[in-house]
Amino acid sequence: MTTRLALLGGRPVRTRPFPAWPVFGRAEEARLLRTLRSGQWGRLHGDEVRRFEERFAAMHGCRHGIAVANGTVSLRLALIAAGLRAEDEVIVPPYTFFSTASAVVEANMVPAFADVDLDSFNLAPEAVEAAVTARTRAVIPVHFAGQPADMDAIMRIARKRKLLVIEDAAHAHGARYRDRPAGSLGHLASFSFQSSKNLTCGEGGIITTNDTRLAERCRSLHNCGRVPGGVWYEHHVISGNYRLGEFQGAVLNAQLDRLDAQTNTRDRNGRDLASRLAALPGLHPQKRPAACTRHSYHLFMLRLDGPAFGAPRAAVIEALRAEGIPCSAGYGFSLPQQPMFRAKAFGPYLQEAGARLDYSRANVPNSDLICREQGIWLEQSLLLGRRSDIKDIVRAFEKIHGQRAALSEWFRQRPARRRETTV
Ligand SMILES: Cc1ncc(COP(=O)(O)O)c(C=O)c1O
């Protein structure tokens, strides 16, 4: 095999595509057609969403599941259902998708950022502890990339400080922590079924909980403030229609039958990839604690220490893509640096708290380092194939490391790089 980098005219390690996403077939078709022909397209009359809620909740160790329009609304409704008040503080990580924090603002509450751990990419418990103030009422740990956060420590802090814990499990369908499913570890949890997610129907979300009182409130909130036994045009709390439709329910029921096997495949391949890449200098795959008994690998994430590897991240990403390995740098900056937070563009929310907030002072160096210099993401479908796919990814990294001097030289000669904006 030629060792010349594909970027410099050599043969790429791989020309075959990786498995496509989403995976679907006859089961999805049959359920969609049945739903179409039934004429029962809405949540209130059909059976697909109701069955999906029961099955998904049971698979995630919960008595209740309330399916909603997406995984942002689910976070917002969970915060409101828990009885948090205007301008209460909610601790969130700075290294996560926008929604984890924007849902807090859209519930008229104040996001407070606590840094992530550099090795696990999840909320650092000591940073959570340090971020708690007299106004703090809740914390939203994200199970980033599909690896459960340090829930023992977070629940300990929550008990001590009387905080509500909402898991953001948007990446963590089927993940397990000490053999307990993600989604059953806090007081409430939120999942997303947006198109990139490990379980998808295009757009959708669900709230899971074991707390019957919270479940009833979520159910009312997702259905225009209606209550069980109430008449149709009777609304008890301010809310709206956040229900999921039956077509999405039909797709989700079919997809759910595939989830367990897919999660096992990703977990096996991800573990294999992590152990092989860790052998190369400067590569730090997401560190997996023993408590993570199943990783759902919505992303395979690693840090690349440029000086130790011998080439900077932007160059390595270009080289990997040229070798046939799709990848990205992920988030370009930490959430407090989002234009929305910098400008405090909160619309009608946080009218009073907004004046005293200054997100430019958020101190989140680990998140900043991952965003600006070190993070590399491979998407979940790369892990859905065979061991030979994993070997190709490893071979590409090895080849690039072997050619790091040539790559660095090429990179130095190139005109100024475009900013990485991929997510
Ligand atoms: C960590 C995290 N939380 C929340 C969300 C929001 O989910 P949705 O896009 O379904 O609103 C996402 C999705 O992209 C996410 O990655």
* Residue nearest atom 10 in ligand 1 by C-alpha distance: 71
Identity of the amino acid at 287: K
Tell me if 168 CB under 6 Å of ligand 1.
Answer: yes
Tell me if 220 CB under 6 Å of ligand 1.
Answer: no
Q: What string of pLDDT tens digits covers the 423 residues of the chain?
A: 459 999 999 999 999 999 999 999 999 999 999 999 999 999 999 999 999 999 999 999 999 999 999 999 999 999 999 999 999 999 999 999 999 999 999 999 999 999 999 999 999 999 999 999 999 999 999 999 999 999 999 999 999 999 999 999 999 999 999 999 999 999 999 999 999 999 999 999 999 999 999 999 999 999 999 999 999 999 999 999 999 999 999 999 999 999 999 999 999 999 999 999 999 999 999 999 999 999 999 999 999 999 999 999 999 999 999 999 999 999 999 999 999 999 999 999 999 898 899 999 999 999 999 999 999 999 999 999 999 999 999 999 999 999 999 999 999 998 765 545 443
Q: How is residue 370 annotated by DSSP?
A: I
pLDDT of residue 57: 98
- Judge contact between 234 and 220, C-beta under 8 A: no
Task: Determine the distance separating the centroid of ligand 1 and the alpha carbon of 229, expressed in angstroms.
Answer: 33
Task: Determine the distance separating the centroid of ligand 1 and the alpha carbon of 71, expressed in angstroms.
Answer: 5
Enter the pTM of the model. 0.97
Tell me if 205 CB under 6 Å of ligand 1.
Answer: yes
List, in sequence order, every residue forming a beta bridge with 189; answer none if it has no partner: 167, 208
Tell me if 71 CB under 6 Å of ligand 1.
Answer: yes
pLDDT of residue 206: 99
Q: N- to C-terminal Cα distance for the chain?
A: 33
pLDDT of residue 399: 98
pLDDT of residue 415: 76
Task: Determine the distance separating the centroid of ligand 1 and the alpha carbon of 194, expressed in angstroms.
Answer: 7
Task: Determine the distance separating the centroid of ligand 1 and the alpha carbon of 142, expressed in angstroms.
Answer: 10
Report angle CA 384, 388, 394 to the nearest 5 degrees.
95
Q: How far apart are CA 291 and CA 34, in angstroms?
A: 42
Task: Determine the distance separating the centroid of ligand 1 and the alpha carbon of 146, expressed in angstroms.
Answer: 12
- Judge contact between 51 and 254, C-beta under 8 A: no
pLDDT of residue 418: 54
Q: Considering only CA atoms, which of 390, 167, 175, 193 is closest in space to residue 262?
A: 175
Q: Which of 194, 200, 377 to mutate to test the pocket of ligand 1 (most atoms within 8 A of CB)?
A: 194
Tell me if 96 CB under 6 Å of ligand 1.
Answer: yes
* Residue nearest atom 16 in ligand 1 by C-alpha distance: 97
Q: Considering only CA atoms, which of 271, 312, 307 is closest in space to residue 290?
A: 271
Task: Determine the distance separating the centroid of ligand 1 and the alpha carbon of 192, expressed in angstroms.
Answer: 6
pLDDT of residue 108: 98
Q: How far apart are CA 108 and CA 114, in angstroms?
A: 19
Q: How far apart are CA 409 and CA 411, in angstroms?
A: 5
Residue 391 bears catalytic tag = no
pLDDT of residue 13: 98
Ligand 1 atom with the smallest distance to the CA of 193 is: 10
Ligand 1 atom with the smallest distance to the CA of 205 is: 10
3-state secondary structure of 378: strand
Q: Which two tokens stand for residue 220?
A: 């009312």
* Residue nearest atom 7 in ligand 1 by C-alpha distance: 71
For the beta carbon of residue 282, count every other beta carbon within 10 angstroms. 17
Tell me if 74 CB under 6 Å of ligand 1.
Answer: no
Tell me if 367 CB under 6 Å of ligand 1.
Answer: no
The backbone torsions φ and ψ at residue 238, rounded to the nearest 5 degrees and listed phi first, read -70, 125
Catalytic residue (choose from 160, 162, 197, 344): 197
